[in-house]
């Protein structure tokens, strides 16, 4: 069963880890880098590591693996103390292209291995929210390449992103290694409770991308009200909410002040307030980002 380990007291969340089913340890809070170019990603990694973060998340689709790698190599913290994750492009659904892409990611990052490699989506992005084809065979072929990379020491943790229960069962029922993580959209006003329960019942760690809803949840009156009650910012409340659900939040920002503030979450939301936040009205609008498939849009 996935458990957490505490390593210190100062800014304690940055000194805590989850232990995965395969024994690997993952920091309980990480940095997201979506929509950053190489230069911005490099600076964000430097700021995050300086603030105490030890996990950074990127993807082939982000186009910034080179910048993330530069930041990792230049940050001054030994490589084995950092947890670097990336994602296989959603469009790759065959063994050979996925295997080649893993080597390409390592080359772009300038690293001998990555700590985590996951399939970005069960469907190519152009099909998300438009097709019922879940690409079962293609995902199994991609998964086989990930299993081989893990066995070869190129990857420590393998998993998926945006997979639902059916997609996960397809892997678990037919592969020799089950997914260790599932990275999904999860935040106050969008909490996929059944999927989270399914993953946790199968010792799959849920990583929460956009835990602050791409900034749109910050204007939610309920979030503001509860945050005021604890003397924290709405963003800090959002991060803490995910942590108390047993998730690994990956807030995306390159602002050094926001990076530091997002980690200052050493407070406890009461069960009553967690209930209020879990029941928050479902978000209807992600603003200018609503066209992205992960937010319900269609390419």
Which residues are catalytically annotated?
Answer: 62
Q: What b-and-e string marks burial along 59-81, b requiring 16 or more CB atoms within 10 Å of the CB?
A: bbbbebbbbbbbbbeebeeeeee
Instruction: Specify the DSSP class assigned to residue 279.
Output: T
Beta bridge partners of 185: 209
**In the chain, at which residue ranges do the beta strands (DSSP E only) sit?**
3-6, 16-19, 25-27, 31-32, 55-57, 83-88, 114-119, 155-161, 181-185, 205-209, 248-250
Instruction: Give the span between the Cα atoms of 30 and 250, in whole angstroms.
Output: 5
At 293 the three-state DSSP class reads helix
Rounded (10°) CA dihedral 253, 21, 183, 152? 90
Q: φ and ψ at 184, to 5 degrees? A: -135, 165
For residue 274, the number of C-alpha atoms closer than 13 Å in the C-beta half-sphere is: 14
First to last CA, the chain: 38
The rounded distance, in Å, linking the Cα atoms of 173 and 153 is: 24
- Contacts (Cβ under 8 Å, ≥6 apart) of 259: 31, 44, 47, 48, 51, 53, 253
């Amino acid at each position: 069963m996935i458990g957490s380990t505490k390593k210190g007291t100062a800014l304690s969340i940055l000194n805590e880890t989850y232990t995965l089913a395969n024994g690997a340890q993952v920091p309980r809070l990480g940095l997201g880098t979506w929509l950053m170019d190489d230069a911005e990603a490099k600076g964000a990694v430097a700021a995050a590591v300086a603030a105490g973060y030890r996990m950074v998340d990127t993807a082939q689709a982000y186009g910034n693996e080179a910048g993330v790698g530069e930041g990792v190599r230049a940050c001054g913290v030994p490589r084995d103390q950092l947890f670097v994750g990336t994602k296989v492009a959603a469009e790759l659904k065959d063994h050979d292209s996925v295997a080649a892409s893993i080597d390409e990611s390592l080359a772009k990052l300038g690293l001998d291995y990555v700590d985590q490699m996951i399939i970005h989506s069960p469907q190519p992005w152009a099909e998300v929210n438009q097709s019922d084809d879940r690409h079962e065979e293609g995902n199994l072929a991609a998964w086989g390449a990930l299993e081989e990379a893990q066995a070869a020491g190129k990857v420590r943790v393998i998993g998926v992103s945006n997979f639902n229960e059916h997609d996960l069962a397809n892997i678990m029922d037919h592969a020799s290694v089950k997914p260790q993580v599932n990275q999904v959209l999860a935040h106050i006003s969008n909490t996929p409770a059944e999927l989270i329960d399914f993953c946790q019942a199968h010792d799959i760690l849920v990583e929460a991308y956009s835990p602050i809803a791409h900034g749109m949840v910050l204007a939610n009156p309920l979030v503001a009200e509860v945050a005021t009650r604890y003397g924290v910012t709405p963003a800090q409340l959002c991060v803490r909410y995910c942590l108390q659900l047993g998730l690994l939040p990956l807030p995306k920002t390159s602002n050094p002040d926001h990076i530091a503030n997002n980690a200052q979450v050493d407070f406890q939301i009461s069960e009553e307030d967690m209930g209020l936040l879990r029941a928050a009205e479902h978000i209807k609008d992600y603003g200018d980002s609503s066209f992205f498939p992960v937010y319900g849009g269609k390419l």
